[in-house]
Structure 1
Amino acid sequence: MSELTAVGEYYGTTCFIWASLKAMTDCQGDGGAARSPMELYEEVTAQGEQVRALKTAKAEKADIDAAVKLLLKLKVDYKQMTGQDYKAGCPPSENSVVPDNGPTADGADDEDTVNPWSVSTTNAKGVDYDKLIVRFGSSKVDKELVDRIERVSGQKPHRFLRRGIFFSHRDMHQVLDAYEKHKSFYLYTGRGPSSEAMHVGHLIPFIFTKWLQDVFDIPLVIQLTDDEKYLWKDLTLEDCHRFAVENAKDIIACGFDINKTFIFSDLDYMGSLPEFYRNVVKIQKHVTFNQVKGIFGFTDSDCIGKISFPAIQAAPSFSNSFPQIFGGRHDIQCLIPCAIDQDPYFRMTRDVAPRIGYPKPALLHSTFFPALQGAQTKMSASDANSSIFLTDTPKQIKNKVNKHAFSGGKDTVEEHRKYGGNADVDVSFMYLTFFLEDDEKLEKIRQDYTSGALLTGELKKLLIETLQPMIAGHQERRKQVTDDTVKQFMTPRPLNFNI
């Protein structure tokens, strides 16, 4: 809208009205670029100012009517996009796209549900991530970005990048721009501890975050949201905090550098660092109840703790929430690797950040790790057979894969040999995509399974042989993590880095 305003100021009211009418036509067409809620909000605001200016200048009635018509059209567009009436001085959250988790205009993915508490789809291949990018308004991690990460880091891209497992981002190019100018950043990821045992799907963000920490040589903060689990689950505070400590052991076993990593429990940290809580309050002041209802679907029967919690998950996105690490600096950008179901929290955060004088966090989003029963849902820590847990024995891993891993193979050996299997829906192949490092070997497995040369039982055997040593190695590393080690990681302290 700033371009239209400039036209009005430069060339006069008549040219402005022509530009406004053209913009209205463009908005109604199919070829224009999609606007974010904030961009549309700014257009409505600027158009309202133009209407007032025309009336003050006692412009021609036809000119005023045309400007008012465009203003009303923009307000209708805004309500359709956000589900809320335009209100001056109340900008939308970046998450205010409605329906956020509902059907798209063509209704093609009516059954997809993606939010921080529920992920489901009727498609055996899983969630349609290309449509999710459009729905959430993020950007695709394309080959150009992967190649650039390789150039900037000097390292071969992680298999999660090479294979599109981390498939979406916000402002990653901006992070790399700054890094190339020797302006560093820090990492933030987290875990909601709802049980003592984590499953292999929980490892995905930590495996990738460790790679980022290693190749960019940067500090990392890991938030354990034990307060969130208390608010959402039927658990005691004591259990939630105990789960946080136990989960911290599994996280530490991923190999993070103790000199560059701070792990914290919300239940502990919130009460010990006033700077963190002050940022929480700043965020809370700039997010309305209507906004969090629109973003997270809260209802009047939800406890007020749930309504205020998003600000707590947002606060680690700002470097001055950790004065012991960054010395009170608030200008260090944050990069958040996470599953895309957590994105609503950070769309809200990115909306608030410039209003409180902080840089917007950047994000890298991962796909969901499928349940053994299929990609229609993500795994559940409460269902032992939905996943491979980090506490499983080699025998349990073998039995779970053989009994529960959804197959893309045919009903008989003869049919499979003749027609081949469907690797796109086969859970064993999906798991290998996450954990098998060798790209050539993975592609050979795909080709053999698709052609029928590799049977389902043989594919499952390959997965078992991949998972068993991986889980056994993790268990050995976890045994070395003592209570004292956890205490060191979770003690607020300076970290060693150059930023």
Structure 2
Amino acid sequence: MAEVDLATKQDGQVVTPWEVEADGEEGIDYDKLIDRFGSQRISPELIERMERLTGVKAHPWLRRGIFFSHRDFEQILDLYEQKKPFYLYTGRGPSSDALHMGHLIPFMFTKWLQDTFDVPLVIQMTDDEKYLWKGDHETNTIEKFYELGKENAKDIIACGFDINKTFIFSNLEYIGHMYPTIVRIEKAVTYSQAKGIFGFTDSDNIGKHSFPAIQAAPSFPVAFPHIFGNDTEPLCLIPCAIDQDPYFRMTRDVAPRLGWKKPALLHSKFFPALTGSKTKMSASDASTTIYVSDTPDMIKTKVNKYAFSGGQVSLEDQKNTGANLEVDVAYQWMRFFCDDDSVLQKIEQEYGPGPVRAGNKMLTGEAKQLLISTLQPIISRHQQARAAVSNEMVETFMTPRTLKFTR
């Protein structure tokens, strides 16, 4: 495995599983990330082929370039065309009682993938990771992160996953089943390689050094003997934000030496913080983060007060120049959560760059109101779905069992 340092700031930005930051006003340069990580851009031809094979229109996040990069997705389409099995893998690091809107992105998209391809899914709750990075011996106990994982599972289940095809697991509970897989991965990666990929230092606890092998393990079907038995053939598809790619770059590098198949990936762009696009949304600042547990009034207040505007300072300048949509959070969030392309086009024409074309130029307050009216029903529906998730349902989703294959 080539020792390429991905953990330091390059081109004015740093992107690791634990830190995302850009110097420029317009945030992360994703073209540079593709070059740096060595992935491939999702092409219109690849999207067209997927639509043709499945008979399903591509998800708006694919059409809008929010999921923008991939590794070997064409192999997934080959398998689908050949009616051969594959499975999905995604995860959640439980660090708060409720998910925020950015946390929903991989699960909403994975739900669409599960429905479109009709395949099994495994969801890893990395309660161990959160303890290793955030735990202490007084308030952030290992038991706390375990319980947060159970609570977060309710929000995940509320996204509508098929209980017959979905296995959610806590690393703290399930790791014994994966341990033979983890040990094989650990033996195949040197400390020097891990340090170059993840930026570990001599002061980091040894649990951090070994954790990448734990996150890599679900990429291989041998980690789930109750689902796949000893079958090493099913390929894994991982939808994730691109900051998680270093884990799977390591995974893909070691797979051939272990006699296993490289997982395929679909990478999303980051969901920007309310305060701007230089970094992704964080669960640590409740005042500027919109949670799926927020009330309609809380959503309205946070958007109006904190959502960074790309609009001009004066009304006259806004009419003559328009807003910078690349940094305007209301527009950027609408690209994620508004399914209606005509509404986005209206914002682009009436709020974006350029002088007013007809009627009045849209102002920042109007753009924010469009976002508020989009978010409130989405979160309300999610809250209703979550209220219907019982503890018994969580236990069923998290019980090792055979999943249903239809292909």
TM-score bracket for the superposition, by shorter chain length: over 0.9
In our comparison, the structure showing a higher alpha carbon Rg is 1
Normalised to the residue count of structure 1, the TM-score between the two structures is 0.78
- Matched letter for residue 270 of structure 1: I
- Alignment-derived partner of residue 484 in structure 1: 392
Whether contact under 8 Å (1:409, 1:421) holds in the other structure is yes
Q: SS where residue 130 of structure 1 aligns?
A: helix
The residue number in structure 1 matching 2:107 is 206
With over 3 angstroms needed to count, the CA separation of the structure-2 counterparts of 1:116 and 1:277, relative to structure 1, is same
Give the alignment's TM-score, normalised by structure 2: 0.96
- Asked whether the 8 Å contact 1:121–1:127 carries over to 2, the reply is yes
1:336 counterpart residue number: 238
Q: 2:16–2:246: 8 Å Cα contact kept in structure 1?
A: yes
Which of 337, 340, 345 is the equivalent residue of 2:247? 345
Amino acid at match of 1:487: E
Higher relative contact order (CA 8 A, sep 6+): 2
Q: Deviations over 1:462-490 (max 9, x none)?
A: 00000001101101100000100100100
Runs of 4+ in 1 over 4 A off after TM superposition: none
| Cα distance in 2 between the residues matched to 1:98 and 1:320 | 30
The one of 82, 88, 91 equivalent to 1:187 is 88
Deviation, structure 1 residue 122? 2.1
**Structure 2: segments with no counterpart, 5+ residues:** none
CA distance in 2, matches of 1:254, 1:339: 18
Q: Using the TM superposition, give the Cα deviation of residue 344 of structure 1 relative to its aligned residue in structure 2, in angstroms.
A: 0.4
Please state if 1:316 is matched with 2:218.
yes
Q: Which residue of 1 aligns with 2:380?
A: 472
Letter in 2 for 1:102: K
> Could you tell me which residue of structure 2 aligns to residue 171 of structure 1?
72
Q: Distance in 1 between matches of 2:133 and 2:201?
A: 13
Mapped contact 1:193–1:240 kept (Cα < 8 A): yes
1:303-452 equivalences under 5 Å are 303-450=205-352, 451-452=355-356
Paired residue for 1:227? 128
Q: Which residue does the alignment assign to 2:145?
A: 240
Deviation at 1:151, TM superposition (A): 1.2
Asked if 1 retains the 8 angstrom alpha-carbon contact of 2:7 and 2:198, the reply is no
Aligned residues of 2:235 and 2:263 also touching (Cα < 8 A)? yes
Structure 1 residues 410, 112: CA separation in 2 closer, same or farther (over 3 Å shift)?
A: same
Match of 1:263 in 2: 168
Residue in structure 1 matched with residue 58 of structure 2 by the alignment: 157
Q: Distance in 2 between matches of 1:250 and 1:311?
A: 26
- CA–CA distance in 2 between the matches of 1:100 and 1:166? 22
Deviation at 1:418, TM superposition (A): 2.1
Contact 1:187 1:334 in 2 (8 A): yes
Secondary structure at 2:70 match in 1: strand
Q: Secondary structure at 1:270's aligned position in 2? A: helix
Residue pair 1:227, 1:266 contacting (<8 A) in 2 also? yes
Higher helix proportion, which one? 1
1:461 and 2:366 are equivalent in the alignment: no
Please report how far the alpha carbon of residue 171 of structure 1 lies from its aligned counterpart in structure 2 after TM superposition.
0.4
Query: 1:99 Cα shift?
Result: 5.2
Q: Do 1:222 and 1:262's aligned partners in 2 also have CA atoms closer than 8 Å?
A: yes
Match of 1:116 in 2: 17
Alignment pair present for 1:497 and 2:402: no
Indicate the residue corresponding to 1:250 in structure 2.
155
Residues 46 and 74 in structure 2, CA contact (< 8 A), matched pair in contact too: yes
Q: CA deviation at 1:131?
A: 0.7
Q: Is 1:145 aligned to 2:64, yes or no? A: no
Distance in 2 between the 1:99 and 1:257 partners? 36
Q: Which moves more between the two structures, 318-327 or 331-340?
A: 318-327
Out of 190, 193, 196, the position equivalent to 1:288 is 190
Contact kept in structure 1, 2:24 and 2:278, CA below 8 Å:
yes
> 1: distance between equivalents of 2:300 and 2:230?
50
Say whether the 8 Å CA contact 1:219–1:260 is kept in structure 2.
yes
Q: Does the 8 A contact of 2:70 with 2:266 survive in 1?
A: yes
Determine the C-alpha separation between the residues in 1 that align with 2:216 and 2:347. Answer: 41
> RMSD between aligned alpha carbons?
1.1
**How big is each residue's C-alpha offset from its partner over 1:92-149, in whole Å with a ceiling of 9 and x where there is no partner?**
3xxx32355433xxxxx3x211000000112222200011000000000111111111
C-alpha distance in 1 between matches for 2:371 and 2:96: 26
User: Which digits, 9 at most, give the CA deviation of each residue in 1:347-393, with x for residues without a partner?
Assistant: 00001111111100000000000000000011111101232111110
Could you tell me whether the CA contact under 8 Å between 2:85 and 2:234 is conserved in 1? yes
In 1, distance between residues paired with 2:15 and 2:51? Answer: 30
Tell me the alpha carbon deviations over residues 274-330 of structure 1, each in whole angstroms, 9 at most, x when there is no partner: xx1100010011011111111111111111111111100000000121111112211
- Structure 1, gaps ≥5 residues long: 1-90, 104-108
Contact kept? 1:158, 1:211, Cα under 8 Å: yes
Contact 1:100 1:136 in 2 (8 A): no
- Partner deviation per Cα, 1:28-83 (whole Å, 9 max, x = no partner): xxxxxxxxxxxxxxxxxxxxxxxxxxxxxxxxxxxxxxxxxxxxxxxxxxxxxxxx
Report SS of the residue matched to 2:351: helix
Q: Which amino acid aligns with 1:461?
A: Q
**Aligned mates of 2:309, 2:90 — CA distance in 1:** 32
Amino acid at match of 2:273: A
Aligned 8 A contact 1:310 1:345 in 2: yes
CA distance in 1, matches of 2:6, 2:388: 47
How many matched pairs?
Answer: 397
